[in-house]
């Protein structure tokens, strides 16, 4: 398919690479800043623009992969005159109807993207939606060229999926960050934690997280909890206190 | 070595198996309840007892792997008459000197153990300490027969290591549990999250957690954060609020 890519962030970069690798024709990249537009255009070997009115008219699909807060505004500027194209956005937390009119849908690849890190797109669950059966078929076909895991999902379900992903990615990563900062204060290298981090993740492939839980909070070992709390301060202490009670509470249910 | 194992919980079970597999002679298992003593004795094919005074006198090492709160009490009961043996405990959060006298040390394998799940003990970081240079050499040798990653660590450092492990294992797993419960309410299977969970863990093998962070809190995308908070309630909302602010705060530093 002929594809225009609006946006040049982490997700746009990884998705653009995967689409190009799958043989699609990326006809153009748009970004507000010339620097990021050019950087991604260079990777995808296609023209770039920083001007929405210059977005190509000759494409089948226009994928918007921009900050959620900019999405509605950019969509309304780029749609006029391009009603023949299928507009897709890649935002987990935005409804399909952020596009006010036209052929529209969603293509949400649920993963944590960093520009510096290659990911295997084929393993990424992609959640799709469209405003017509034909366009749903079209976005499913497109998604299947880059991923083996394509699921239909409504806008309403997707917003819960997105908040759930924040817990098991961003909040999990913040727990790693708190760990790193605690270890650093006591001259212990972070990498001693990697086997524990890996096993904690692997465990929930076979046990439910509730069954997999271990540690002082699930045993409600008040001596250990009190000792730990006496060693912590500030935000780390607040997190320790809240999470320990939350674990205990969930176990009692 | 000839080893007595005091305790029959998750850690004792996994450690006992690893020691036996490495060729050590597990001479006896103690547990307060006959059921768990017999279950582990069956696995390790050795005698069991539920009576501390019956603990074998004929062993080189006595490993106490019991609840932290029971450790000092059990140690004081089992030591008299067994001063020739090296006493080790396996608790991350307890100092070596929970043993009031005698030859003493610590052998802390840092991992999340569930009885139902086999772990590769060779990959588990084991942190050791002892009250004399000879005994440190002895516990290092013992640990090296089951693990490739043996580190010396003082009691003081180990207590911080232990609280750090709670963050990146128990609290991480609780984030997974919150994710599961959110998805369940909206008829989405938990396993769609596994690629994201895996990538989040794999990322911190190559990036520091701070560099690896993504999502609305690190971008401080207040629209998304407010929308997410409006979808949550109770403990999930408290966690969302605290973690989002903690991520933002850490990023600003």
- Give the residue among B246, B231, B250, B142 at the shortest CA–CA distance from B182: B231
Q: What is the pLDDT of residue A166?
A: 97
Residues B33-79 have pLDDT tens digits of: 999 999 999 999 999 999 999 999 999 999 999 988 899 999 999 99
**Are B228 and A179 a contacting pair at CB < 8 A?**
no
The pLDDT value given to residue A3: 98
Query: Within its chain, how far is the Cα of A209 from the centroid?
Result: 21
Confidence of residue B252 (pLDDT cuts 50, 70, 90): confident
Chain A residue with Cα closest to B119: A199
| Closest C-alpha to B36, from B65, B3, B56 | B65
Interface of A with B in 144-163 (CB under 8 A): 149, 151, 153, 156-157, 159-163
Distance CA B199, CA B205 (A): 10
- Distance from C-alpha of A153 to C-alpha of A125, rounded to nearest angstrom: 11
Q: Are A75 and A87 in contact (CB under 8 A)?
A: yes
B positions 18-47 inside 8 Å of A (CB): none
Per-residue pLDDT reduced to its tens digit, B205-231 = 999 999 999 999 998 989 899 999 999
For residue B10, give both structure tokens. 């998750």
pLDDT for the residue numbered A128: 98
Kindly provide the ipTM of the predicted complex, given to two decimals: 0.89
The minimal CB distance from B214 to the residues A10, A192, A211 is found for A10
Q: What is the pLDDT of residues B118-130, one digit of tens each?
A: 888 999 999 999 9
| 8 Å CB contact of B196 and A166 | no
Please state, in angstroms and rounded to a whole number, the distance separating the CA atoms of residues B24 and A95: 61
Q: Does A193 touch chain B (CB under 8 A)?
A: yes
Is the predicted pLDDT of residue B25 greater than 80, yes or no? yes
Q: B55-71 burial, b for 16+ CB within 10 Å, e for fewer?
A: bbeebbbbbbbbebeeb
Q: Which of A181, A204, A224 sits opposite B176 (nearest CB)?
A: A204
pTM above 0.90, yes or no: no
**Residues of chain A where predicted confidence (pLDDT) is lower than 50:** none
- Which of B177, B223, B242 faces A209 most closely, judged by CB atoms? B177
Helix (H) or strand (E) holding A34: helix A34-44
Task: Convert the pLDDT of each residue in B175-204 to its tens digit.
Answer: 999 999 999 999 999 999 999 999 999 999
Three-state SS letters, A94-158: CCHHHCCCCCEEEEEECCCCCCCCCCCHHHCEEEEEECCHHHHHHHHHHHHHHCCEEEECCHHHH
Half-sphere exposure of B149 (CA within 13 A, CB side): 17
Query: What pLDDT is attached to residue B130?
Result: 98
Question: Measured between alpha carbons, how far is A251 from A220 in angstroms, rounded to an integer?
Answer: 10
Write out residues 103-142 of B within 8 Å (CB-CB) of A: 110-114, 116-117, 119, 123-125
Average pLDDT, whole number, for chain B?
95
Smallest Cβ distance to A172: which of B172, B186, B210?
Answer: B172
Please classify residue B247 by burial: count the beta carbons closer than 10 Å to its beta carbon, then call 0-12 exposed, 13-18 middle and 19+ buried. buried
Find the closest chain A residue to B228 by CA distance. Answer: A163
pLDDT beyond 80 at B115: no
Q: Do the chains contact at A182 and B193, CB–CB below 8 Å? A: no
Average confidence (pLDDT) over B154-178: 97
Which of B124, B157, B167 has the CB atom closest to A188's CB atom?
A: B157
């Amino acid at each position: 398919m002929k594809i225009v890519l609006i946006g040049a962030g982490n997700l746009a970069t990884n998705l653009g690479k995967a689409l190009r690798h799958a043989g699609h024709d990326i006809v153009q990249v748009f970004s507000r800043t010339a620097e990021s537009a050019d950087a991604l255009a260079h990777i995808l070997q296609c023209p770039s623009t920083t001007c929405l009115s210059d977005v190509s008219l000759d494409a089948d699909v226009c994928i918007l992969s921009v900050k959620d807060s900019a999405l509605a505004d950019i969509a309304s500027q780029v749609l006029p005159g391009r009603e023949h194209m299928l507009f897709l956005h890649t935002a987990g937390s935005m409804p399909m109807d952020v596009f006010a009119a036209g052929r529209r849908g969603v293509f949400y690849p649920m993963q944590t993207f960093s520009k510096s890190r290659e990911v295997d797109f084929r393993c990424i669950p992609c959640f799709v939606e469209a405003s017509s059966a034909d366009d749903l078929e079209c976005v499913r076909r497109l998604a299947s060229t880059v991923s083996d895991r394509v699921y239909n999902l409504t806008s309403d379900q997707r917003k819960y999926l997105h908040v759930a992903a924040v817990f098991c990615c961003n909040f999990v990563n913040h727990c790693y960050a708190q760990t790193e900062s605690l270890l650093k204060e006591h001259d212990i290298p972070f990498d001693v934690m990697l086997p524990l981090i890996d096993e904690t993740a692997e465990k929930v492939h076979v046990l439910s997280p509730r069954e997999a839980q271990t540690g002082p909070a699930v045993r409600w070992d008040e001596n250990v909890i009190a000792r730990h709390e006496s060693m912590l301060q500030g935000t780390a202490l607040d997190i320790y206190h809240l999470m320990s009670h939350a674990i205990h509470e969930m176990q009692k249910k």
